[in-house]
Chains A and B, each alone.
Chain A
Amino acid sequence: MTLLALSAAALDRSFFEWVWFFLDRYWLQFLTGAGVTLLISLSGTLVGFGIGLLVGVVRTIPKDPRAPLFRRILRRLGDFLLVTYIEVFRGTPMIVQAMVIFYGLALAFSINLDRLLAGFLIVSINTGAYMAEIVRGGILSIDKGQSEAAHSIGMTHGQTMLHVVLPQAVRNILPALGNEFVINIKDTSVLNVISVSELFFASKSISGNFARYFEVFLITCVVYFLMTFTVTRILRLVERKMEGKSTYTIHGSQTTPESEIRIRGGL
């Protein structure tokens, strides 16, 4: 069917018929677009979270004024670079970052990134900058006594972070992580400026063919909402799971009836 024939037939369609038409005919494009959106936002959020954890941990290493000079200089330099990274990526719009990174790399180094990969990189780096500050806040929110106790039994800074502080900090920042994921699902739409075929880009292509923007983007709207809503529900579940059980079993109560009686007597 030619485009002309399509638009001729289009004239007498009602609103619902249009919606149905797009759903029926372009469901695969919507779905693929949504898939790309989810893929980029999920992987970007996770990798960004990883970057945030790393940066957050490095930034909270206690400063030792007695360390050798070159180590202190290294530390200062590292801190400076990390703060620069955080400030620059938090302080500029992702849509601009996408343009600068994608076209900049192509122009300056003749690197033609795959658009999907470029999108993933941009979301990751951007999320990392936000997560770094969230993680730092999460680490600082954990009582100092926790790390003092870990240090007092001989744990290093890394061990203290890995086994004691981060498990608690991560639980506290989980809502913020979920928030970041939801924001990313929506904000990947800006990647259409570098032609990443995510949901917004797909919708634009579909609607452009027929100049029917309202119907198409209403569908797009619903798809975005379904994705974010599902994600928030799942995260709520994960949070509840991480709270742990509210009860515990008395040790020995399930081994022998004898011990159970003893314990009951004891209580």
Chain B
Amino acid sequence: MADAQFLEIRHLRKRFGDNEVLRDIDFTVRKGEVVCIIGASGSGKSTLLRCVNLLERPTEGEIWHDGRNILDGSVPIATYRAHVGMVFQQFNLFNNLNVLENCVIGQMKVLKRSRAEATETAMRYLEKVGMGQFIHARPSQISGGQKQRVAIARALSMEPEALLFDEPTSALDPEMVGEVLKVMRDLAHTGLTMLVVTHEMAFAAEVADRVVFMDEGVIVEDDVPSVIFGAPKQERTRTFLKRVLR
């Protein structure tokens, strides 16, 4: 069922100099699926996510999207990226723009929407993440949790096919993690395709359709959460989970 597929990664490798961060990754994401990627720091999970959005150029391999290999140069990178939203660990809101403008600028410049339409769309998603009141605030004036919710609204405003999350709660104070996870949980229930690199095991267990465990640049185990967290087949997965789920 090729049409139900959002993304297929084949034999992906990424080297930084002599350091091979990703070794022969094969990996598929179906439309509407929520996939959580877990693993220790340095296991390559963030790099994999950044390769999906081409923020890192893979050294080798293929990434198939919409029947085309986006690495062969036939698809303009910017066009592809507009279809795949990204939420960063450090939020990365545009510091020169206020909350509303953050969500409007991409729609106007990339999707060529009118200001009125872009504002309407932005407002819809800002309301959805509970930031409708703060549209005039600058990024420096709101909390980390609020910034991350705006960042999610900014990505959603582009109405992408999928959303990538790169450790979205890792830079937050503990009391703000909940508000961001709640937004993500709600999004997962709307049927949005999501690829989430996270250390929040409870979130992965509850929300994910599939959990991928990575270690030293390879996918060790890729299964439903009940198997990964209940009865992992691989020794390395067991060791990792024992360490983090104490």
Contact = CB atoms under 8 A, between A and B. Distances in A.
B55 A153 contact: no
Contacts of A250: 133-134, 136
Given A153-B155, A154-B81, A159 B109 contact: yes
A164 interface: yes
A148 B53 CA distance: 10
B53 to A, nearest CB: 6
B51 interface: no
B88 A145 contact: yes
Contacts of B154: 149, 153
Given A152-B81, A154-B80, 17 more contacts: A145-B88, A146-B94, A148-B88, A149-B151, A149-B154, A153-B81, A155-B78, A155-B110, A159-B109, A163-B105, A164-B94, A164-B97, A168-B95, A168-B96, A171-B96, A249-B136, A251-B135
Nearest to B98: A248
A248 B138 contact: yes
Contacts of B155: 152-153
B90 interface: yes
Interface residues of B, number: 40
Contacts of B134: 248, 250-251
B106 A154 contact: yes
A143 B79 CA distance: 24
Contacts, number: 91
B212 to A, nearest CB: 21
Contact of B53 (A152, A159, A164): A152
Interface in B132-151: 132-138, 141, 151
B85, B94, B135, B158 interface centre (most CB from chain A within 10 Å)? B94
B160 to A, nearest CB: 9
Interface string B67-90: 000000100001111111110101
Contact of A152 (B86, B96, B135): B86
Contacts of B83: 154
Contact of B109 (A143, A163, A244): A163
Nearest to A64: B57
A168 B135 CA distance: 20
A146 B92 contact: yes
A30 B246 CA distance: 81
Q: Interface residues of A toward B: which range?
A: 20 to 34
A80 B151 CA distance: 39
Interface in A154-203: 154-156, 159, 163-164, 167-168, 171
A168 B93 CA distance: 12
Interface of B: 53, 55, 57, 73, 78-86, 88, 90-98, 105-106, 109-111, 132-138, 141, 151, 154-155, 158
Question: Which secondary structure dominates where chain A touches chain B?
Answer: helix
A252 interface: yes
28 contacts: A145-B91, A148-B88, A148-B92, A149-B92, A149-B151, A150-B94, A150-B106, A151-B55, A152-B53, A152-B81, A152-B85, A153-B82, A153-B110, A153-B154, A154-B80, A154-B81, A154-B110, A154-B158, A159-B109, A163-B109, A164-B96, A164-B97, A248-B134, A248-B136, A248-B137, A249-B136, A251-B134, A266-B133
Contact of A154 (B73, B79, B90, B133): B79
Contacts of A149: 86, 88, 92-94, 151, 154
Contacts of A145: 88, 90-92
A164 to B, nearest CB: 5
Interface string A256-267: 000000010010
A153, A167, A168 interface centre (most CB from chain B within 10 Å)? A153
A66 interface: yes
B94 to A, nearest CB: 5
Contact of B133 (A66, A150, A153, A252): A252
Nearest to A148: B55
Contact of B106 (A153, A251, A263, A266): A153
A57 to B, nearest CB: 16
B168 to A, nearest CB: 13
Contacts of A167: 96
B136 A159 contact: no
